């Protein structure tokens, strides 16, 4: 139980770091943080789905910026 709690706390930390990076306009760092969080979360859980949604939004933003270049 202790290991699970530590892992969950790390996932939450990585997701929050991703949010902070995104707020600062550092999309690549945000993407990396979300990706790390996704590796530790269980697919199908709310936290996984929510983090994956944010991760995919960053990918869409990057694709839009690349197509406008």
Amino acid 2: pLDDT? 80
> Where residue 59 falls among pLDDT bands split at 50, 70, 90?
confident
Is residue 27 helix, strand or coil? Answer: helix
Query: What tokens were used for 34?
Result: 């979300």
- From CA 27, how far away is CA 34, in angstroms rounded? 10
Average pLDDT, the chain: 86
Going from the C-alpha of 17 to that of each of 2, 24, 52, 54, the distances in angstroms are 22, 11, 14, 12
């Amino acid at each position: 139980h202790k290991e699970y709690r530590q892992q969950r706390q790390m996932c939450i930390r990585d997701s929050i770091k991703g949010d902070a990076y995104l707020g600062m306009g550092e999309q690549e760092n945000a993407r990396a943080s979300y990706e790390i969080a996704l590796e530790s979360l269980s697919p199908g859980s709310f936290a996984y789905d929510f983090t994956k949604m944010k991760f995919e939004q960053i990918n869409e933003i990057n694709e839009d910026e690349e197509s406008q270049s």
